[in-house]
Amino acid sequence: MMRELNMIIAILFLVSVSQAGATGSETKIELGKQLFNDPAFAMSTNKKSCNSCHPDGKGIGEVESGDYSNMINRCIVGALKGQVLENDSKEMQAMQAYLNSLVQ
């Protein structure tokens, strides 16, 4: 009886942990989508957003490693006239998650 109870508790724990991970990933993607469409993203000094040049993610090719950080920062500095994002920032992680969701 005790073994069965421990097994049920372990299963419930694993289910709750896996659901929390999915929610975190979905939250990153949603934040990335908001940033992608925000003209003030990355301290942009013009009225452009990522979506201005890449409507609905068009023109964004798949990167083999799934790491878009160089492309993101190039666009921020060039087209948006904004400030570079740190690779480990919440914003960069969200943008990466969103762009990876677009190419899947």
The secondary structure element, H or E, covering residue 46 is none
pLDDT category at 12 given cuts 50, 70, 90 is low
Say if residue 30's pLDDT is above 80: yes
Residue written as token pair 């942009």: 44
Q: How far apart are CA 67 and CA 8, in angstroms?
A: 39
Say if residue 18's pLDDT is above 50: no
Question: What does pTM read for this prediction?
Answer: 0.74
Lookup: tokens for 26: 């979905």
Predicted local distance difference test score (pLDDT) of residue 65: 81
Say if residue 44's pLDDT is above 80: yes
The string of pLDDT tens digits covering residues 64-104 is 787 899 999 999 999 999 999 999 999 999 999 999 999 87
Looking at per-residue pLDDT, the higher value among 93 and 57 belongs to: 93
The domain covering 29-102 belongs, at the CATH homologous superfamily level, to Cytochrome c-like domain (1.10.760.10)
Q: How far apart are CA 102 and CA 31, in angstroms?
A: 14
